[in-house]
Structure 1
Amino acid sequence: MASRRTRDGLEAFWAIALLALMAATFRLWLPTSWTGAGDYPAVPMFDLATVGLTQQAANVLSIATPFVIAIACLVTVGGGRWRWAWPIIAVSLVIAVFLDQHRLQPWVYQSFLYAILFAISPRSESGRLPEATFRLIRLLTISVYVFSAAGKLDFQFLHTVGQDFLRVQLEWVGVDVSTWPTKTRLFAAAIFPAFELCVAIALFWPRTRMFGVWMATAMHVGLIAVLSPMGLGHSPGVIVWNVVMALQAWWLFAGPVIEIEDDAAINSDAKADAGRVGPMAWAVVGFAIAMPIFERAGYWDHWLSWALYSPHSSRVTLQIHETAIDRLPEEWRVAVTADEESDRWHDLNLGQLSLAVRGVPAVPQARYQWALADQIIELAGIENQVRGKVQSASDRWTGKRDAQWWTRPDEFQKAGDAFWLVP
């Protein structure tokens, strides 16, 4: 008889999680004509014509990939040939993102990394993954918390989103934080990333791991409450992902214990545990852990660096003249702000537009937002009735950004020349 954590269930769990996340963000995955998203443009990674892909073929692929992913996930949940399902999921996710960068949500990237690890890891005769694979996934999960915390130890978070988190939670107990001194409020907001960093440390050390699981659970439950309709009212996908992460903490770091009585199964699993993952698995995790270091320099995306709920990201501000507002689709006008400066110019809030039309956050990346603005301008035919600026990621200590203003079509196009992955 031998005791050990259940490993088989993690693959089925993550397949269910991926299905749930895609269902919560269905307007990202299904055609706009099916979801009522109007003419909201897809932003591919590059000009699809360069690879001989027509718009009609791209549309067919865009419809097919979510269904392929769903079928592969169901096969995994049903106990089918898991090893062959995961590479299909990984490739399908890549194709889906290439066709529309908006799908590059952090949980999509996380699912892609897991799919690669599940696909390339060695297995025992009974099909179980080795413990070494789970150690890599635990390491990857801990890195998510580390980089997420690091992204919030930042001027912008402490002065904006951190204050929102603080205000919402204390309002529930009748405390008005606006009366607090500024330094006190900033210190209190810093507790959020500090706690998240403590979660990562606790999960790393075996002796404190169970305590870390409870801390992670408390953190995600708190986030669910803050981001829910009774708090800041974020999108359903954000809520579901926090549920998934809370459950994953138990699955990876606490996990149910089962009794194995079959000697053959014991020997088979012992061989699996003795096995080592290959260099490719280490390379995948090493790459995922190393690349966020280059986020602030602009060489890696903010969401791929786990900069979550952190407003230091690069961005595009788009303003539209009041004479052009009627040229926008009616459902988009909810994202047009009031003319606060009485100069007849209104912000077209790309983040609000994404939430209103697609029900998910806009990708917090200047590259994506510039390409989205470019397609919106072309679609509405308002090239000479817009202006705005492209802003870099903010300085960690001062919150300042470099900004490139544009008022003419040629200046707008010149601003986009700095980006690599735009159509």
Structure 2
Amino acid sequence: MAMRRMRGGYEAFWSLALLALMAATFRLWLPASWIGTGDYPAVPMFDLAKVGLTQQAAGLVSFAATLAIVVACFATVGLGRSRLTWPIIAVSLATAVILDQHRLQPWAYQSFLYAILFAAAPRDESGRLSESTFRLVRLLTISVYVFSAVGKFDFQFLHTVGQDFLKAPLQWGGVDVSAWSARTRLIAAASFPGFELCVAIALSWPRTRMLGVWMATVMHLGLIAVLSPMGLGHSPGVIVWNAVMAMQAWWLFAGTVVEVEDEPNTEIRRVGALPWTVVVIALVMPIFERAGYWDHWLAWALYSPHSSRVTLQIHESAIDQLPEEWQAAITADDDPDRWHDFHLGQLSLAVRKVPSVPQARYQWALADRIIQQFGIENQVRGKVQSASDRWTGERDEQWWTRPDEFEKAGKQFWLVP
């Protein structure tokens, strides 16, 4: 009975989690005119004009999708109408992301997967989901930890972000890691993904599941501390997601687990083809992330700097044409050539207070919209960089200095307007 109460409560829990995550990243979801981010361009997945959508109409559809998610989440919590609400949430999340790829945050993708599972899986007479459905949710959760950990056994993580993760907590105790040997620092940085992989393994077996719950809790609380303002100062959405994941570990894995024998043998087959298809895609496609056939965040490449990207520079003569708030993303000129680095990731944090999508496709499209919006085609230059090699950290680079070269660089991407 306790397990079945947990199943019903989990849908309400994730609805509240989705609301909290959207609140923490509200600049992604509310109309730009309401929050003063109108100059920051939305990047849809295709040219909306081809389907007859003006910018104003797209804004109205986007707001309607956000409102539908909020209403459906409250209905799930307050009315228990989850059989009806999850399809609305799934469709609305997809619509919101299609209209602006910046919303394709990892937790939004996770919520979309859950919404499809909850919408398509069968329910009993009282409307409760089966244990087999929750096995799929647990499998997806474990896969997040597995792919996140494997993605960090990487030259870039061990030499950059991993070192930051190492320095932040140790400096609170007055420990100077710069005095350590390079080998020691790399081994210490590798302990982060190593611990995360151990969490995934522990959660996979009933006998070690509670140990995994405690390990996951420690890991997420540690990340909250490291990423908080007293540490690396990451965005609120990242902090909230780690809190949600810590609570989810208790909700999904703690306590007595109902095994297959407690339900009919046909239960797994009764989950249905669509939920299994979604789970298989979510488990298999991250394997192709490094080859460029799956997005980095959709492969749970979290805090992992091996992702593809666009590096942008802007000429000094064009800087004054940009909004004043954007100046925080432009660095000083280190040499007398009058070209300044224009960091798209910093721009996202400065204006929308969320991380930029770590994907060359999105960043190229964002740069294209900025260039066209401010008419600075001949005052920018840069390069498109591939995902880095796991062992050497090296990347393939495609430089561009002219508008035609920039357009040519963008022809390699799908899902750009």
After TM superposition, the score normalised by the length of structure 2 is 0.96
- The total of aligned residue pairs comes to 412
Gap change, CA 1:21 and 1:373, over 3 Å in 2: same
Q: How far 1:38 moved relative to its partner? A: 3.6
The answer to whether the 8 A contact 2:65-2:96 is kept is yes
Corresponding position: 1:136 with 2:136: yes
Aligned to 1:317: 311
The aligned residue for residue 89 of structure 1 is: 89
> Offset of 1:32 from its aligned partner?
1.4
| Larger relative contact order, structure 1 or 2 (CA cutoff 8 Å, min sep 6) | 1
Aligned ranges 1:261-410 → 2 under 5 Å: 274=267, 276-410=270-404
Partner SS, residue 64 of structure 1 = helix
Post-superposition offset of 1:257? 9.3
Tell whether the 8 Å contact from 1:131 to 1:272 is kept in structure 2 after alignment.
no
1:59, distance to aligned residue in structure 2 (A): 1.1
CA deviations 1:81-109 (Å, max 9, x no partner) are 21110000000000000000000000000
Deviation digits for residues 205-251 of structure 1 (CA, Å, limit 9, x no counterpart)? 11000000000000000000000000000000000000000000000
> Match for 2:307: what amino acid?
S
The residue number in structure 1 matching 2:42 is: 42
Indicate how the Cα distance of structure 1 residues 272 and 80 shifts in structure 2: closer, same or farther if over 3 A, else same. farther
Distance (whole Å) between structure 1 residues aligned to residue 255 and residue 403 of structure 2? 56
Conserved? CA contact 2:47–2:416, under 8 Å: yes
**Equivalent position amino acid for 1:348 in 2:** F
Give how far 1:37 is off: 1.5
Contact 1:123 1:272 in 2 (8 A): no
Asked if 2 retains the 8 angstrom alpha-carbon contact of 1:130 and 1:272, the reply is no
Cα distance in 1, alignment partners of residues 166 and 250 from structure 2:
27
Q: Structure 2: which 5+ runs fail to align?
A: none
Instruction: Give yes or no for the alignment of 1:101 onto 2:101.
Output: yes
Q: What fraction of aligned residue pairs are identical, expressed as a percent?
A: 77
Match of 2:67 in 1: 67
1:414 aligns with 2:405: no
Q: Cα offset for 1:349?
A: 0.5
The separation in 2 between residues aligned to 1:119 and 1:45, in whole angstroms, is 25
- Whether the 8 Å CA contact 2:286–2:294 is kept in 1: the answer is yes
> Residue 388 of structure 1 aligns to a residue in which SS?
strand
- What's the CA shift for 1:52? 2.2
- Shift, 1:398, TM fit: 0.1
Deviation at 1:80, TM superposition (A): 3.0
Runs of 4+ in 1 over 2 A off after TM superposition: 2-5, 255-258, 269-276
Q: Is the 8 A contact 1:140 1:285 kept in 2?
A: yes
Aligned residue for 2:251, secondary structure, equals helix
Equivalent residues of 2:309, 2:359 under 8 A apart: yes
Q: Distance in 1 between matches of 2:58 and 2:256?
A: 44
**Residue type matched to 1:304 in 2?**
L
Aligned to 1:261: none
> Shift of residue 341 of structure 1?
2.5
Q: In the aligned structure 2, how far is the partner of 1:206 from the partner of 1:330?
A: 55
1:254 is aligned to 254
- CA RMSD of the aligned region, Å? 1.6
1:22-63 alpha-carbon deviations (Å, 9 max, x no partner): 000000001111112241000000001222222221111011
* AA in 2 matched with 1:134: F
Match runs of 1:78-227 below 5 Å: 78-227=78-227
Deviations 1:88-137 (A, max 9, x none): 00000000000000000000000000000000111111111100000000
In the alignment, the residues of structure 2 paired with residue 256 and residue 237 of structure 1 have an alpha-carbon distance, to the nearest angstrom, of 31
Code of the aligned partner of 2:310 = V
Structure 1: 5+ residue runs without aligned partners? 259-268
What code does the residue aligned with 2:224 have? Answer: I
TM-score if structure 1 supplies the norm length? Answer: 0.95
1:382 deviates by 0.7
Q: Report the alpha carbon displacement of residue 391 of structure 1 after superposing the two structures with TM.
A: 0.1
Superposed displacement of residue 256, structure 1 = 8.2
Equivalent residue for 2:3? 4
Structure 2 SS opposite 1:168: helix
For the 8 Å contact 2:210–2:255, the answer to whether it is kept is no
1:172 Cα deviation from its structure 2 partner? 1.1
Structure 2 Cα separation of the partners of residues 242 and 153 of structure 1: 21
Change (3 A) 1:82 1:179: same
Whole-Å separation in 2 of the counterparts to 1:161 and 1:4: 39
Following TM superposition, by how much is the alpha carbon of 1:272 offset from its aligned partner in structure 2, in angstroms? 11
CA contact (8 A) 1:317 1:389 kept: yes
